Amino acid sequence: MTKFYLFSKNKISSLPLHPLFKDRLGFYLFLLIFLSATSTAISQSCTLNAGLPQTICANDVMQLDGTSPSAVYVSGPIWSQVSGPTVIISDPTLDKPIITGFIPGNTYEFAFSAECPNGDTPSQTVAITVNPITIADAGSDIASCPDSTGSIIISGNSPGPGETGVWSIVGANNANVTINLPGSASTPITLPDTNAGTSTLRWTITGSGVSPCSSFDEITITNYGGELPISAGNDITLSNCYTVSQSTNFNASFGGNNINGQQGTWTFVSGPSDPTSSIANINNANSGISNLIEGTYTFRWDVVGPCASGSDTVSIIVPEATQDVTDATIDDDNIRLCDATATQVTLVGTTPDFTNETVLWELISGPAVTIVNPTNSTTQVTGLSNPNSYQFRYTITNTVTGCTSTDTGRVRYNSGSISITVNSGNDIVGTCGETSIDVPFSFVNGNQTQYSIISGPDDSAITFPTNYQTQSGTSATIDVFDVPGIYRVNFRRRRTGDQLTSCGEANDAINITISAPPSGSNAGTSQSFLCGQVDGTLAGSSVALGEQSVWTQVSGPNTATIADIYAQTTAISGMIPGTYIFRYTVSAGPTCTPPSVSDTTIEVSPVSNFPVNAGVDQIDICVGAPVQLAADPGTAAQTGVWTAADPGISFSDINDPNAIATGFSLASTTYTLTWTLDIVDNSGCTLAPASDTVDITTNADASPTAANAGVDQCLAGGVTNVSLSGNAPDPLDEEGLWTVSPSAGVTFAPNATQFDAVATVPSDGVYTFTWTIGYAAPPTNSCPTTADDVEIVIADVNTSVSAGTDKSLCLDPVLLSFDMDADPAPAGGTGTWTLVSGGRFSVDDENSPTATFSNLLDGTYVFEWVIDFGDCPVTTSADQVTVEIGIPPTTANIQGGDQVICAANNTTITADALVNPATESGVWSVVSGPNTPTINDPNNENITVTGLTTGTYVFNWTVTSSSPLCPTSTDTINVDVFAPTNAGADQDLCEVNSVLLEATSGTTGTWTQVANGAPVSTITQSPSNNNTANASVVPGNTYIFRFTTDYPTGPPNCNNSSEVTITVSSGPSVPPTAGADQVLCEADTTTATLAGSVPPGDVGLTAEWSFLAEPATSVANITTPGANNTTVTGLSEPGIYITMEFCY
């Protein structure tokens, strides 16, 4: 490289402007501004986007996916077909028209184009490839009688070469079809005779390849049904343990369901009554039948139809009624004790309803215990011990009829701390395209594991949180993830039962990251911002569900403002003249790399080529001396050109504002040089070039010979001797001198004044040698010396230099930056960091091997460490480094500290808002607590929690970055809940010796008896502050019990109490007698006389008559229900009225 320096230069002072010129200048500036504003208004740019290439199947809808975000177009946008067989575009002026008439096996290309107000004509093309697929034909529908011989054949069309076909059943298989050869186009099917209905069969043809096409067609298969031989089933004898009537179910052969007339029908043949109206479905082979009274019934099952016909009868024998028996049930038949100190429970069974009934509690499995009142419907059980399991049987027996009813219940311990850990506490990042994730978990104690997806991407069709799913084993396969993104899944381990004592729950949540191959990226057409336009629109292609797009600026004369970097279409502003490159990146999860990237260019032209400045005039220039020029370079959108009126003037580079001018050969002469600026592209907004001049005035003295240091040199590494080749000074009156930088250790031979000296250098490096020529003493005149530089590069230019180690980083939350660790450039070389792929960044020193990079986004960056040696050629490829960047999430912070909730079962909790909601998400979860309360909006930083019960809850607010490289940020809050207590509903019991007291689950406290004159009750609680207790009672009394909580006294004081009233009847001292049964003839009377026993004079006893059952249209009336002797009138409807009962 050759450079000239002139060491002395005089300046010309600025001249004052004439007032008239100033006025005119003001007018011109006003005119310029006005024209600029007008030009901007009429010269707006526009852009469009034709979308991404598509590959569709022959049976898909072909639809173009254009985007036209600009507000104004002179014409268009409009679609046109570029290539492929001719098709029909539904409406070429729509952004997303439908294409019809395409032929499989072809690729179609379409152009999307428009004209902008500034004259630009943006256009993009997009290709759509149509893959062929054989269109499936399943054949004709079939309706048939049952067949298992293989004679019914379904026939689909044959798949094409490389295709496969399969038969499947869609929806409910009402015909109960069996497809014998589902992989064959032609296959027999089986229709059983025990079913009737219609099923839908689908014939699907699927192509081969990574993304195969498929087509399907459907037929219906109708099975008429009809089982042979015809059978009404075996005769049935019912139990005598009933009071009024009996019921049962038929069990006949299947007769059909009236498809094509194939159907069975039940007909009453004979019996003590006609119960036809009580047959639930007369055409159902297994119909229920009720209102059967004592006697023998005969029913006929008649089957008619094209597939099966015939009849059969069945007898139902109903023995004489003895009396119904009370259905034995245990209120809480699954009691779980989580407190190992608990030693007792109270079992509550149904109270007998009928005379002569007794009850019995028995232990049928487990170690021996004490059943305090085994013949009472409510009993205390003591002597329980951890870790045993117990099973009890409750039996109600009628001692006269022998009828019995039983139920069983369990009491088991499940003590010990409960916990669950999901995937060893680690988040899961699925591989690219993986949507089914196996999630291992481990637990301690508890009897049930469930999971719920509590949050996920906004684009997901899943409604969050999902219902909890029960999962057995130690692993769950979750396959409902539908779009890329981060899902948070909560697992809970708990204990289940009807009555839980001191039982809690445990939770653990992890993030599951789903990735998918990105659909592609299209940054839209390039644009020209002309005549002062400095803002506009970027239009990226559409993204698929779950994908994320981001706009970044790759280069430009300044940093433009992108309104929303995550929007597909966004405004840009704040630009200045020059060339900008913007990058549109589409990603769909961290494991599908690299993301799809597309760049678009925007050329911004100035509103004028002014101002222009050629530099200050230079005077007293020696004749023949080179002159260093210093013009204003203009903007990045402009090109400058030096010209001179004198053809003898030449420039080292006519486009360099700092060019060296030579050719000033005349003494005492003024040379005028012109520096002209013009925009690079005048195609849309023609601007007049702007020029300025600079005067170069010579004196009468001749300059020393212009120094020429020779051409730059590239020498191999290790060279120490450098041959210099400066030009020789005039030996008569000039002398030369070599100097060098850096100078340490450099020597010259024979000396530094020799124009072709040999320099000896100490090592590799870049050396700048300066050759200076001046007049020898005494100098001929006062003209300054001339000088020129030559650059000598001594280096091994083919040395491989490492860009450093690849990195996967979660950035420091404060610095949000990282440092490179490349090898330094070799001596003589300069390293420069360049971006190969990735998004936004800033760098403090692009030439430093340990440069600090900041202003980054989540994603993968590839940087290249380029080593250059000036003008020396380099044959070794630059090394690259891949840096995966994760931006840490907002630090989770729950406001207000831990909470104490008094006498309430709800609360509100607030966390700090997310700083970057576009790239991070927050979710609330329950870590532990006595139950799983309801969080109204788990993804909102402000939540309302309901359904709380007494105990300590731990809630987490977890903030997750979009990058799995960064750990989640979690804050925890403890909520101590002292819920209001309720002693339960008042009870009316009969002939019990103990009662179960049960306050609100989870509350703790003490049960006491409130004095009201009732006998003293013995109350036992186990544990001593359990919400349940057993209380002894004496029949014939009313008791009041109070539950008082034992919460800490505070502050605040959360204790409260509640009372329950329990009335215990002793039952009648004499059993009631309703009298003998009566048989009446309708023609004789419509009145009957009832003669029940006289009720005893027990305190509080009432007695009355009531109907348990009667004919549906009965108008019978009991004259005096409360009298033991009374009449019944209105017995006009034939039927059985033995269902009247006399009760105390």
In this prediction, residue 637 carries a pLDDT of: 83
741 φ/ψ angles, rounded to the nearest 5 degrees: -135, 125
Q: For residues 186-220, b (16+ Cβ closer than 10 Å) or e, as one string? A: ebbbbbbbebbbbbbbbbbbbbeeeeebbbbbebe
pLDDT of residue 684: 61
Residues 178 and 99 in one domain: no
Same domain? For 296 and 263 the reply is yes
Q: Report which of residues 127 and 38 the model is more confident about.
A: 127
- Residues 623, 697 within the same domain: yes
Instruction: Check residue 360 and give its pLDDT.
Output: 97
Q: Which of 198, 248, 260 is nearest to 223 (CA)?
A: 198
- Report strand pairing: 505-515 vs 920-929: antiparallel
Q: What is the pLDDT of residue 1136?
A: 65
CA distance linking residue 237 with residue 256, whole number of Å: 27
- Domain co-membership, 64 together with 116: yes
pLDDT at residue number 991: 83
- H or E element in which residue 41 lies: helix 19-42
Among the listed residues 1117, 1085, 1137, 1089, the one whose alpha carbon sits nearest the alpha carbon of residue 293:
1137
Give me the pLDDT at residue 6, please.
29
Which CATH number covers residue 240? 2.60.40
pLDDT of 1023 higher than 60: yes
Is residue 256 one of the residues assigned to a domain? yes
Whether residue 643 has pLDDT greater than 70:
yes
* Joined tokens for residue 850: 């340990």
CA 982, CA 980: separation in Å to the nearest integer?
A: 7
| Of 689, 683, 749, residue with least CA distance to 722 | 749
Q: 374: number of CA atoms within 13 Å, CB side? A: 9
First to last CA, the chain: 123
378 and 292 share a domain?
A: no
Burial letters for 642-661: b for 16+ Cβ neighbours within 10 Å, e otherwise? Answer: bebeeeebebbeeeebebbb
Give per-residue pLDDT as tens, 845-893. 999 999 999 999 999 999 999 999 988 998 889 999 999 999 999 999 9
Residue 752 lies inside a defined structural domain of this protein: yes
Same domain assignment for residues 399 and 483: no
User: Each residue of 541-592: pLDDT tens digit?
Assistant: 999 999 999 999 999 999 999 999 999 999 999 999 989 999 999 999 999 9
Q: Is 1011 part of any domain?
A: no
What is the residue-wise DSSP string for 327-353?
PP-BSS-EEEE--TT---EEEEBPPP-
Predicted confidence band at 1097 (pLDDT cuts at 50, 70, 90)?
confident
Domain of residue 380, CATH code: 2.60.40.10
For residue 683, what are its two tokens? 């195609």
For residue 472, the model assigns a pLDDT of 96
What is the model's pLDDT at position 683?
56
**Cβ pair 808, 885 in contact under 8 A:** no
Residues 11-24, mean pLDDT to the nearest whole number = 33
Most confident of 676-690, 714-728, 923-937: 714-728
Residue 87 has pLDDT above 90, yes or no: yes
Q: Which helix (H) or strand (E) covers residue 627, if one does?
A: strand 627-628
Q: Is 800 contained in some domain?
A: no
Confidence band for 415, pLDDT divided at 50, 70 and 90: confident
Segment (H or E) for 1126:
strand 1125-1129
Give the domain-ending residue among 795, 822, 838: 795
In this structure, the answer to whether residues 300 and 271 fall within a common structural domain is yes
In the predicted model, what is the mean pLDDT of residues 110-122?
92
- Quote the percentage of the chain above a pLDDT of 90: 76
**Sign of torsion over alpha carbons 171, 173, 174, 177:** positive
Class of residue 1097 by CB neighbours under 10 A (exposed 0-12, middle 13-18, buried 19+): exposed
What is the spatial distance between Cα 1123 and Cα 308, in angstroms, rounded to a whole number? 60
Which segments within 40-106 are labelled E, that is strand? 54-57, 62-63, 75-83, 88-89, 98-100
User: Is residue 511 in some structural domain?
Assistant: yes
Rounded Cα gap, residues 519 and 137, in angstroms: 32
- The pLDDT score that the predictor gives to residue 3 is 29
Q: Do 453 and 467 belong to one domain?
A: yes
The whole-number pLDDT of residue 1098 equals 74
Judge if 218 and 249 occupy the same domain: no
Q: What is the mean pLDDT of the chain?
A: 90
**328 or 243, higher pLDDT:** 328
Q: CA–CA separation, 1118 vs 1129, rounded Å?
A: 7
| Nearest alpha-carbon partner for 774 in 3, 2, 1, 8 | 8
Last residue of a domain, one of 795, 828, 848: 795
| CA–CA gap between residue 721 and residue 713 (Å, rounded) | 12
Flag whether pLDDT at 1108 surpasses 80.
no
Q: What is the pLDDT of residue 1124?
A: 86
> What pLDDT is stored for residue 1100 in this prediction?
67
What integer pLDDT is reported at residue 355 of this predicted model?
A: 81
Residue 4 has pLDDT above 80, yes or no: no
Quick: pLDDT tens for 1026-1074. Answer: 999 999 999 989 999 999 999 886 667 888 999 999 999 887 777 778 8
| 765 and 827 assigned to the same domain | no
* 258: containing domain: 236-318
Q: Give the integer Cα–Cα distance in Å for 729 and 705.
A: 7
Q: Is 1066 part of any domain? A: no
Task: Provide CB contacts within 8 A for 705, sequence distance 6+.
Answer: 727, 729, 730, 734, 773, 786
In whole angstroms, what is the distance from residue 1074 CA to residue 1069 CA? 16
For residues 544 and 613, membership in a common domain is answered with: no
pLDDT band with cut points at 50, 70 and 90 for residue 338: confident
Residue 7: band (very low, low, confident or very high) from pLDDT cuts 50, 70, 90: very low
How much is the average pLDDT of 118-136?
Answer: 94
Kindly state whether residue 9 falls inside one of the protein's structural domains.
no
In a domain, 1034, yes or no: no
Look at residue 988 and tell me whether its pLDDT is greater than 60. Answer: yes
State the DSSP string of 238-297. Answer: --S--SS-EEEE--PPP--EEETTEEEEEEEEESSS--GGGBS-TT-TT-EEEEE-SEEE
**Counted domains in the chain:** 9
Residues 650 and 660 in one domain: yes
Mean pLDDT, to the nearest integer, of 1098-1122?
Answer: 80
Answer with the one of 851, 886, 921 that is the final residue of a domain. Answer: 886
pLDDT at 1095: 84
pLDDT of residue 1112: 74
Characterize the bridge pairing of strands 88-89 and 98-100: antiparallel
Query: What pLDDT was estimated at residue 867?
Result: 94
